[in-house]
Structure 1
Amino acid sequence: MPEIFHPFASFGLQERMPMRFEADVFECEVEGEIPAELQGAYFRTGGDRQYPSLEDDIILNGDGMVSAFWFDDGHVSFRNRYVQTERLKAERAARRRLYGHYRNKYTDDPSVSNLPNRDNTGNTYAFEHHGELFMLREDSRPYRVDMETLDTLGEGQWGDLRSTALTAHPKIDPVTGEWWSYGVFAGGEPTTDASLHVFDKDGKLVREQWFHTPFPGLAHDWGVTREHIVLPIMPLVASEARLRQGKPYYEYDPDQPAKWGVMPRDGDPATDMRWFDVPGVMGHVMNAYTDGDKVIIDTPISPGNCFSFFADKNGRFPEMPETITQITRVVFDLSKSDDEAVSMHPVAGALGDMPKIDDRYAMSKYRTGYFALRAFPQMGVGQIDWETGELKVYELEGAAAQEPVFIPRSPDAPEGDGFVLTVVDRFADKTTELHILDGNDVSREAIARIKLPFAMPMAFHGCWVPRS
């Protein structure tokens, strides 16, 4: 008998149902006028199960769903498709669920127990480098997707890379074009094994260094500056023994402080990393830079466990106030002792996540940052001026914004002079829109709204690829 679909747990203590929906919209409805400078494509990916899951599933376990908005001389067309991973193809061939809980092979059907890269769903970040589009997920090696059709092209080529994992949050050096990456649980099992690795502007592996983290914890995002690396390890701890019992991959340990490693960018992580205790839990990074002896990293931090679908070691799930993230500047003064080096500077009113910047200023001192504002009931897009502390807000009613992405008006435009794209979920209408905002001031009326006649599954992260 076919299985039924169960709701899955999402962020913010929400529950969702899979949509299982692929679509094409040629010539989207547009309110306003598309700026002439926008010529290219906006790619995104998220998680959406095609086949039923086990009960108590979570959003991170969804099959990758890549979507694209193609911009062409004031016209916009849309498409979304499942990423055709080996995992999804196996389930389609069997026409039933074969895979169980998130990153737990012991809950799978025996027929797929030996499938390599079992967890690779390509559901976290649509990422472009050296002219290719990749679907990233932090525990796996990415799949390639055709930019014109969204057809899956197979896994990428990674040279002599030993790590089984490439972070879902790579950093592109805007000066060299290098792809900076790392992997925790780099040997494929939940241990302290980790790898730092770098690919040059053409995608060739030029560096890989292995090291150990202080404990086998979650590391979803990180910071790279022109001089330093910052690697946060969160107290969501993985355990092979727990997996064998059929339990969740991560368990939050409120007694284990988060450990943030800081090292010179040209150093050896096995010997040069200084580990600091930093309170709270973070998931994403806005930007990081070095100023003399100080390493600065800007990130949303919650007082408790913002990964709300993972219980703590006592079986308790967090309450809503524990999960709310606030944009916070964390400063490491490397001239001081470990217990005095860290200071934290939260931005008043900047509640939310999914931070982004003008990527031309990545790894360097910058002024402008954007994020999805989630100061319920106030929802929308926030903009921070790090020089003045001013916070500007694009407010939404009966709707919420997903990740904002910035596109400069021209290659040599001043920082922030350009456009912010953000997908907006309309709750009452159950539809989705793409809003184009003024990057200099997001609080202004939207420049244009691109409308889809249906709702889309939640996507996590994406990128803009200009027309070449």
Structure 2
Amino acid sequence: MPEPFHPYHSFGLMKRNPMRFEADVFECEVEGEIPEALRNGAYYRTGGDRAFPTLEDDIILNGDGMFSMFRFEDGHVSYRSRYVKTERFKAELAARRRLYGKYRNRYTDDESVSNLPQRDNTGNTYAFAHHGELYALREDSRPYRLDPETLETLEVGDFGHLRSTALTAHPKIDPVTGEWWSYGVFAGGEPTTDASLHVFDKHGLLVREQWFHTPYPGLSHDWGITRDHIVLPIMPLLADEDRLRAGGDYYEYDPDLPSKWGIMPRNGDPAKDMRWFDIPGLVMGHVMNAYSEGDKVIIDVPCSPGNCFSFFKDKHGNQPTLPQTMTQITRITFDLSKPDAEAVTLAPLNGAFGDMPKIDDRYAMQRYRVGYFALRDFPVMSVGQIDWETGEIRVHPLEGGVSQEPVFVPRTPDSPEGDGYILVAVDRMAEKRMDLLILDGNDVSRPALATIKLPFGQPMCFHGCWVPGDAA
């Protein structure tokens, strides 16, 4: 008898249902006017959506990659979504049934696929463009290349002599050099303390790889790079081989462990130069930006007082309460001139509850003023904009909508910081459809400049990017 599809666990203790369809919409309905800077190009996104039956307690991170594109052509907009056709996806398609079990637990798979390389490579986390290539990233794997016109899956990318099996799903592009900075935890393919720092030049060629060890085998989803330093956070959600062999979850939250924050000179050796700081009672998943000022390293992150990865239980078998999962954007300062116990300062930003932070990427790795995020002060869901110099938060209200990640596009290559546009997908759950809003990057509180309407809902995407028309 075929297996049923169960709702899967998502963030904020929510549950979602798989949608299971690829879509094409030629000539989307548009209200308003498409700005000149967006007349030609493509906005790429990816998220998780299980194509074959889900386990009863499945989680959103285990979904097959659903890659989507809003293509802008002379002010017209069309939409396309396609599954990332990974080896995992193709094996289940051929079998016409589920073959893979729990998130990152190969011991729960069907015997017929027990030795599949890159078993967890679903391409469901970040739609990423670099050196003319388009990739579907997932932090425990090497990303797949996709055709930027059709979204058809091509192959796993060629990364030269890279030893690491993992490339972070949150790469950082240096706006000065064009380099692709990356790292991987569990870099040898198993839940260990092995980690790798790696850098690709603007042409995608590997120019640096350095191996080191993390303090414990914990979750590390995002990080910070400044012009002078690297910031590597490790969260107290621990992976354990024995638990996997017993059929358990990949991660388990340990509230008795502090989060660990490694800081080293950007040109240093992580095995020798990393200095680890403890921050207890804090869990984070994403980074807005990071920069250095002399001996001080500043990183802005949404963080929670408990486990914001709510679908993973703690070591006592408990799931967090909703208040424990709520993230607030917080400025963390590390003063490297001080002893460890005195070096760390936390400054939560009043009213900045939410996640999925983004900036004007031209200001990455340096002091900046403007940040954007999905404001989630339950039950209020909005798009937020931060002015770090004044502390002001501007809000674009979403009546009956839930914001996904906002992405900034500058008005011109040399326009001032924040002078441009925000692309943000908004779920209209009651109406079972989705809008793409175009907001004024100078002030998101203003009415939308344009709304691109889809007549159906789509899976929640995690992260994406805009590629201008001459490169899309």
Q: TM-score normalized by structure 2?
A: 0.99
CA offset at residue 74 of structure 1? Answer: 1.1
Match for residue 11 of structure 2? 11
| Aligned AA (2:201) | D
After TM superposition, list the pairs within 5 Å mapping 1:75-86 onto structure 2. 75-86=76-87
SS at match of 1:428: helix
Match for residue 116 of structure 2? 115
Match for residue 2 of structure 2? 2
After TM superposition, list the pairs within 5 Å mapping 1:452-463 onto structure 2. 452-463=454-465
- Cα deviation, 1:373-396, whole Å, max 9, x if unaligned, reads 001222111000011111100011
Match for residue 107 of structure 2? 106
Match for residue 334 of structure 2? 332
Match for residue 145 of structure 1? 146
Q: Which whole-Å CA distance do the structure 1 matches of 2:41 and 2:259 have between them? A: 40
Q: RMSD between aligned alpha carbons?
A: 0.5
CA offset at residue 70 of structure 1? Answer: 0.5
| Aligned AA (1:293) | D
After TM superposition, list the pairs within 5 Å mapping 1:433-452 onto structure 2. 433-452=435-454
Question: Which has the larger displacement, 415-424 or 31-40?
Answer: 31-40
| Aligned AA (2:262) | G
| Aligned AA (1:459) | C
Q: Which whole-Å CA distance do the structure 2 matches of 1:230 and 1:422 have between them? A: 28
Is 2:347 aligned against 1:345? yes
CA offset at residue 365 of structure 1? Answer: 0.6
Match for residue 20 of structure 1? 20
Q: How many residues align?
A: 468
CA offset at residue 3 of structure 1? Answer: 1.0
Match for residue 193 of structure 2? 192
Match for residue 157 of structure 2? 156
CA offset at residue 73 of structure 1? Answer: 1.4
Match for residue 240 of structure 1? 241
Q: Which whole-Å CA distance do the structure 2 matches of 1:182 and 1:405 have between them? A: 23
SS at match of 1:339: helix
Match for residue 381 of structure 2? 379
Q: Which whole-Å CA distance do the structure 2 matches of 1:75 and 1:149 have between them? A: 17
After TM superposition, list the pairs within 5 Å mapping 1:231-380 onto structure 2. 231-279=232-280, 280-380=282-382
Q: TM-score normalized by structure 1?
A: 1.00
SS at match of 2:123: coil
SS at match of 2:231: strand
- Whether the aligned pair in 2 keeps the contact of 1:43 and 1:464 (CA below 8 Å) is yes
Match for residue 42 of structure 1? 43
Q: Which whole-Å CA distance do the structure 2 matches of 1:133 and 1:429 have between them? A: 32
Structure 2: gaps of 5 or more residues: none
Match for residue 228 of structure 2? 227
CA offset at residue 278 of structure 1? Answer: 1.4
| Aligned AA (1:423) | A
Q: Which whole-Å CA distance do the structure 1 matches of 2:351 and 2:377 have between them? A: 8
- Cα deviation, 1:152-204, whole Å, max 9, x if unaligned, reads 01100010101000000000000000000000000000000000000000000
- Whether the aligned pair in 2 keeps the contact of 1:119 and 1:139 (CA below 8 Å) is yes
Q: Which whole-Å CA distance do the structure 2 matches of 1:158 and 1:427 have between them? A: 40
Any runs of at least 4 consecutive aligned residues in structure 1 with deviations exceeding 2 A, and if so which? none
Question: Which has the larger displacement, 213-222 or 424-433?
Answer: 424-433
CA offset at residue 215 of structure 1? Answer: 0.1
- Cα deviation, 1:16-48, whole Å, max 9, x if unaligned, reads 110001110000001111112102000000000
- Cα deviation, 1:365-418, whole Å, max 9, x if unaligned, reads 100000000012221110000111111000111111100000000100000000
- Whether the aligned pair in 2 keeps the contact of 1:368 and 1:383 (CA below 8 Å) is yes
CA offset at residue 53 of structure 1? Answer: 2.2
- Whether the aligned pair in 2 keeps the contact of 1:53 and 1:99 (CA below 8 Å) is no
- Cα deviation, 1:243-286, whole Å, max 9, x if unaligned, reads 00000000000001000000000000001000001131000000
